[in-house]
Amino acid sequence: MAGAQSGMRGSLVGYGDAEFSLFLRKAFIKGAGYTDDVLDRLVVGIVDTGSGFNPCHGNVPQLIDAVKRGVMLSGGFPVEFPTISLHESFAHPTSMFLRNLMSMDTEEMIRALPVDAVVLIGGCDKTVPAQLMGAASAGKPAIQLVTGSMLTGSHRGRTVGACTDCRAFWGRYRAGEIDDEEIDEVNGRLVGSVGTCSVAGTASTMACIAEALGIALPGSAAPPAVTADRARIAELTGRRAVEMARSGLAIEKILTAEAFENALRVLLAVGGSTNAVVHLAAVAGRLGLRLDLALFDRMSRETPVLVNLKPAGDHYMEDLHRAGGVPRVLRELRELLNLDALTVTGRTLGQELADAPPPFDQDVIRPRTNPIYPTGGIAVLRGNLAPGGAIIKQAAASPDLLEHRGRAVVFENAADLADRIDDEDLDVEPDDVLVLKNIGPIGAPGMPEAGYLPIPKKLARRGVKDMVRISDGRMSGTAAGTIVLHVSPEAAVGGALKHVRSGDMIRLSVRDRVLELEVPDEELQRRADLAKSTSDTAPRRGYAKLYADQVTQAEEGCDFRFLQAETRRGTIPRR
């Protein structure tokens, strides 16, 4: 039964007379045709992130209908409301720049509206992190519903899917291996339906992480967007949201340190996106938990990659769904998990796994005794070039480049890269190290996915497929290669990366977890003293100024400082 501050009595407008506020609210919503019986029920808010500019969310209208059905079947009152919608390919300069704005929108709307629980519908890269960040700060009962992955396509008898295959075909096109006609043909084959990328990119990774966190229903991460399974998950999510509203199951009871540890395990085991490290740090930071990169790296050394998904493997998300999805992955990781962690079902992870479907033969999810890759997909690097840390997706790198020493070929920013990377006179050889500066959180701004530097055309034509590449930016989780990312501090705030010059020698050792610029400290200091300040280029108004003034470095999640929890509660993983 609705309490004094639940349902339509929640979050009343401050007119100075609470009963009048309620009277006025009911008068307006009755104009939409609702009866008093409906208005006396618990209210489940449904976040609508549908947009014509967001194909990843093309099924949101159908999902909203299914969630509403579930809410009504359980006796609740469903009301959808819009927030910002972000798509990686349709948000200039990058959707990461707007992630924090979406989180603020989500948080403030949850606070402002009379909702007893909220269903967060999101999918594309930055939307799920933004929603979890906002919901974590708002504190009300919340449950995540991902939109689901797209179907794969077919090109000349070969299964293809966005966006690992997008990058692979574009690389072949740059190398002259395929012509204009074929690249145009494959462009219409890569995305088989609405939904998120069909590989272990950031969207699919965050879907798996949401389930591992316990903030989404068991089995909800992997069903593709246009399947009946996805619609049924949506209905069950609506049903569960009503029960959460009745019991008052607040989000901080689910998003605990133990839950974040489980999520980090799954990130490593699925060979997931490096972007998830930044996003988990941001969500955890809203709850007073700090991501410790050294402890995360220790976890990586003992957590093998078990899921055979592109870009580290061969399969797609629809294959993971058929193989048993995240519940099957969690079963294989059982001995490494916190089984007492509470989930949105009101039961522990251990209880849910005990009732999970039995395993069966398949080739997508491996047992720990026969992994795809012996240690976690992501390694943390440190050294004088990255005192705050850097990461590499080792499972998707070239094994022969994981221990490497090479000459730096430096690009000062993205524009410099675009101008010179394909210059026939560029002084570059296959053993060199490509270095891109000023694409970090502040430098770009927004830390774009430009860390996937293209192979110079003159080398690509010689058959070079991979090189060591280093930047303070990010790369898409759909990409593969020996690519060092998230170098911290970034160049724009005076990090050592700023002072790298072409011809300097750089040592990468994933075995030793080292990223070292072989330049004496005295010379680095001399370069720093000569460097010019870039403060005069800082934005002076609007959201861009807020972003530049408040954004943190990658290891803190690139969140805004004023949005982080005021009290620190510990680290993840725990010591």
* Encoded tokens for 123: 């999918």
Total-model pTM? 0.95
Same domain, 147 and 157: no
Both 182 and 200 in one domain: the answer is no
- Note the pLDDT of residue 531: 83
Residues 53 and 73 in one domain: yes
- Among the listed residues 159, 124, 188, the one whose alpha carbon sits nearest the alpha carbon of residue 319: 159
Residue type (1 letter), 109 = M
For residue 176, the tally of other CB atoms under 10 A from its CB is 10
Split the chain (575 residues) into runs of 10 and give each run's mean pLDDT: 69 90 91 91 97 97 98 97 96 95 98 97 97 98 98 95 92 94 96 95 96 98 97 98 96 98 97 96 98 97 95 93 97 97 98 95 95 94 97 95 98 96 97 97 93 95 96 92 97 96 98 97 92 68 95 97 95 91
**pLDDT for 434:** 98
Residue 554 lies in a domain: no
Nearest by Cα to 431 from 529, 365, 507: 507
Residue 395 to residue 418: CA distance in whole angstroms: 28
Q: At what angle do helices 257-269 and 325-332 cross, to 10 degrees?
A: 100
Q: Is residue 34 a part of any domain in this protein? A: yes
> Does 350 share its domain with 477?
no
Q: How many domains does the chain have?
A: 3
Domain match, 236 and 270 both: yes
Q: Is residue 401 part of a domain?
A: yes
Beta-strand (E) ranges in 289-436?
289-291, 379-381, 389-392, 403-411, 433-436
Residue 359 lies in a domain: no
Looking at this protein, which amino acid is placed at residue 293? Answer: L
**pLDDT at residue 291, rounded to an integer:** 97
Say if residue 18 is in the same domain as residue 81. yes
Does one domain contain both 158 and 144? no
Domain boundary, last residue among 354, 370, 395 = 354
Query: For the residues of 551-574, what is the DSSP string, one character each?
Result: BPPGGGTS-BGGGS-SS--EEES-
Residues 6+ apart with CB under 8 A from 11: 111, 112, 113, 114, 115
What is the predicted pLDDT for the residue at 1?
36
User: Max alpha carbon distance in the chain (Å)?
Assistant: 76
Domain match, 109 and 240 both: yes
C-alpha–C-alpha distance, residues 206 and 222, integer Å? 11
Token duo for residue 513: 């977890």
Helix (H/G/I), strand (E/B), else coil: 245: helix
Residue 398 structural domain: 379-539
Residues 557/425, Cβ–Cβ less than 8 Å: no
What angle do the packed helices 127-138 and 275-285 form, to 10 degrees?
Answer: 10
Q: Tell me: do 61 and 182 sit in the same domain.
A: no
SS (HEC) of 172-221? HHHCCCCCHHHHHHHHCCCCCCCCECCCCCHHHHHHHHHHHHCCCCCCCC
Q: Do residues 159 and 147 both lie within one domain?
A: no
| 369, two tokens | 């005794």
Determine, yes or no, domain membership for 158.
Answer: yes
Rounded Cα distance, 131 and 129, in Å? 5
At which of 187, 210, 233 does a domain end?
Answer: 187
What distance in Å separates the CA atoms of residue 353 and residue 351, rounded to the nearest whole number?
5
Judgement on whether residues 171 and 208 belong to the same structural domain of the protein: no
Q: Are residues 384 and 512 in the same domain?
A: yes
